[in-house]
Amino acid sequence: MKWIIHRLQVTPELIGLRLDQYLANSSAGLSRTQAKKIIDLGGVHVNGRRVRSCSTAVLLGESVEVYIDQLPLEPYRIKEQDILFQDQFIIVLNKHALIDTQPTHARFKGTLFESLQWHLKDPFRPQKKAEIGMIQRLDRGTSGIIVFSIHPRAHKEMTRIFLEHEVKKDYLALVHGAPGSSQGEIRSFLARSRRENRVKSVEKGGKEAITRFHLVEKFANYSLLDVEILTGRSHQIRAHMAEQGCPLVGDQRYGGEDQISGIKILRPLLHASNLAFRHPVLNHDMVFSVPMPEDMQGSINMLKMRDL
């Protein structure tokens, strides 16, 4: 899903307008209602700085950038059913697909991080921000289990647990084709290519990435894999599977197609299904598992029906 970006400059006839009025009268083609919502989400930047106040007056020559990620303009909020576990030290969530983990140019409000701040807000001290440790990140399109530390006593140890790979992370991935064997391990060094805007394996440099997989179910031209990552590199599963000739369904950046039998796939079909680690403060084992969300299960059901 590509962003829409409008880059504007304030001209003399629009000087002094409120920011929402300015956008409604600009070439961005937004209604005032849309402008208000995008400003509130954090998708408008004036002179390179995010501005979330509709009443801010624009000045001559100011640059205004509007970032639209084409996701719902109503901000995501954590619901009770999204919480797998919470105590005073950590919180484990079942992340929805198409929710950004951390703030982007297009939005601050409604990201998982901001929603967690909102969820943890102290009603008696609403100005005090919760202390959140973001130990892991899931891509916008990835659904499933994610853990945050929410107390200073947990931050350092939780970070160590992930850095030293004392955590077991398993994913379900629906891919094109099938790997050369029913199970295997992929080791490489991954680096980001800015020119291609993606991660790839390189001979020199990069960071070590280790991915293990085994075949769960095979369909005509598709496979469901269980994937364990022993390292947590950005886009690790997406890059490694694409390099095996098996890109994730829906992952156009890495060569996957965005439809099955004419049905549009809105995201790479990757789901963080299992997570296991020791509690950073209480030191007991924590094991979590969540089923696939409806969109991914629906795609698999479609493949099963097609193969009958």
Distance of CA 41 to the CA centre of its chain: 16
What is each CA distance from 176 to 91, 167, 232, 241, 296, in whole angstroms?
Answer: 34, 28, 23, 9, 14
Q: Of 82, 139, 170, 251, which one is the catalytic site residue?
A: 139
Q: In the chain, at which residue ranges do the beta strands (DSSP E only) sit?
A: 4-9, 44-46, 49-50, 63-68, 83-86, 90-95, 143-149, 168-176, 183-193, 198-202, 207-219, 222-229, 259-260, 263-264, 270-278, 285-289
Q: How far apart are CA 12 and CA 15, in angstroms?
A: 5
Q: Can 139 be counted among the known catalytic residues?
A: yes
Burial 171-201 (b: 16+ CB within 10 A, else e): bbbbbbebbeeeeeebebebbbeeeeebbbe
Say if residue 233 is exposed, middle or buried (CB neighbours under 10 Å; 0-12, 13-18, 19+).
Answer: buried
CB 67 within 8 A of CB 3: yes
CB 101 within 8 A of CB 114: no
The H or E element containing residue 20 is: helix 19-24
CB-based contacts of 258: which residues, under 8 Å, 6+ apart?
250, 252, 264, 265, 266
Burial 76-115 (b: 16+ CB within 10 A, else e): bebeeebebeeeebbbbbbbebbbbbebbbbbbbbbbbbb
Q: Which residues are catalytic?
A: 139
